Amino acid sequence: MITLAKLIIGKEEKEMILQVLDSGMLTQGEKVSRLERELADLCQVKHAVVTNSGTSALHTTLYSLGIQPGDEVITTPFTFISTTNAMLMMKAKPVFVDIDQCTFNIDSSKIEKAVNKKTKVIVAVNLYGQPADYLNINRIAKKYDLKVVEDAAQSINAVYKGKKSGSLANIGCFSFYATKNIMCGEGGALMTNNKDYAERAKRFRHHGQNEKIKYEYLDIGCNYRLTDIQAAIALAQLKRLDRITKKRREIAALYNQAFGNVKGLITPFVSPGCAHVYHQYTLRVTKDFKLSRDELKTYLGKRGIASGVYYPKPLYYYSHLRKYAPKGGCRRVEKVCQEVLSLPAHPLLTKLEVDYIINTILEI
Ligand SMILES: *Cc1c(COP(=O)(O)O)cnc(C)c1O
């Protein structure tokens, strides 16, 4: 089976883990500090705070921004559940706005209509690895005094108008979950230029403890610390990041070339000024194609090719989110949920495997 994701674990990762084991210090320590410095360097921001998942990074972010119960957060319903659950954990209200069907990201032209007195934050998601429209999003935020969060779980190393993903909003959040572009099993990070946010985040990550005085707790907190074992893996992965990104783009280019003129298949659109990192290479399979999306998925599966539907339904279809469904729904999200299909694009794919995937689809 050609899988959708495949982990790269080489001798660099193993050596780094052994260093930590030999040091006898397994919790948050030197490797975590180094990972924070390297991530901040990568994104050219002042502060990085690593956490034990992307979800905990998002939760911590909303805490750092001072979100209060009942505050409203504008976001997209076409993302992983975690984006919205972080809001619910802060007792904030998600307000769903439809997407742009070319980029799959929040349609920034529809955000302003969703703003009211309770709105505090906009959480945009860089779906599949392409940054959302931050020029417009940040402009709206400035006009209404809102904060902006970049859910960059899928977009590390992507670029938007010359700036790295992670640095495009007040706070950017990464995930290092096993299948993300770089990983450490489970892990996350939040990126910011704001010292106060970074300090609040570090406190929240560690039970709300005063950074300088042990057992002095200033507020509620969690245990969201990353271990040095995980940080060691992430540091080794970070060294591979440019090669991984390049390989994913090369695979995407081969798919684009092969499927660009196939009736009924829509290849990913890349916005001007954006550099996509193809966490997912996602086609839209429209009614003009010979098979439906689900038929194509089954067909590929039978021929040993895994494919994925990200995501099968808008978040407001899930029972705990139904009460946040916007009036009339998000028409475009509902449509693309029926059409999207992600093909394997991980960097360990061989040319032979990519050709096999391409030919299998072209034969249809
Ligand atoms: C993976 C992901 C997250 C959550 O990250 P975890 O590390 O799995 O907690 C959040 N948002 C998006 C868009 C993701 O893809």
pLDDT tens digits for range 242-270: 999 999 999 999 999 999 999 999 999 99
Above 90 in pLDDT, residue 12? yes
**How many whole angstroms from 336 Cα to the centroid of ligand 1?**
20
CB of 119 closer than 6 A to ligand 1? no
Q: What average pLDDT does this structure show over 157-173?
A: 98
Above 90 in pLDDT, residue 208? yes
Environment class of 265 (CB within 10 Å of its CB; exposed 0-12, middle 13-18, buried 19+)? buried
How many whole angstroms separate alpha carbon 274 and alpha carbon 180?
Answer: 19
| 172, 165 Cβ separation under 8 angstroms | yes
| 339, 284 Cβ separation under 8 angstroms | yes
For 46-66, write each residue's pLDDT tens digit: 999 999 999 999 999 999 999
Q: What average pLDDT does this structure show over 212-235?
A: 96
Above 90 in pLDDT, residue 233? yes
**How many whole angstroms from 157 Cα to the centroid of ligand 1?**
16
CB of 268 closer than 6 A to ligand 1? no
Above 90 in pLDDT, residue 90? yes
Ligand 1, closest atom to CA 57? 9
- Select from 283, 251, 241 the least CA-distant residue to 349: 251
CB of 53 closer than 6 A to ligand 1? yes
For 115-134, write each residue's pLDDT tens digit: 999 999 999 999 999 999 99
How many whole angstroms separate alpha carbon 104 and alpha carbon 98?
Answer: 9
CB of 52 closer than 6 A to ligand 1? no
CB of 125 closer than 6 A to ligand 1? yes
CB of 177 closer than 6 A to ligand 1? yes
CB of 153 closer than 6 A to ligand 1? yes
How many whole angstroms separate alpha carbon 256 and alpha carbon 263?
Answer: 13
Q: What average pLDDT does this structure show over 55-84?
A: 98
* Ligand 1 mutation pick, 79, 173, 175, 311, max ligand atoms within 8 A of CB: 175
* Average pLDDT across the chain, whole number: 98
**How many whole angstroms from 154 Cα to the centroid of ligand 1?**
7
Ligand 1, closest atom to CA 53? 7
Above 90 in pLDDT, residue 205? yes
Buried b (16+ CB within 10 A) or exposed e, 78-92: bbbebbbbbbbbbeb
**How many whole angstroms from 80 Cα to the centroid of ligand 1?**
6
Ligand 1, closest atom to CA 154? 15
Say if pTM beats, i.e. exceeds, 0.95.
Answer: yes
Half-sphere exposure of 342 (CA within 13 A, CB side): 20
CB of 181 closer than 6 A to ligand 1? no
211 — pLDDT class (breaks 50, 70, 90): confident
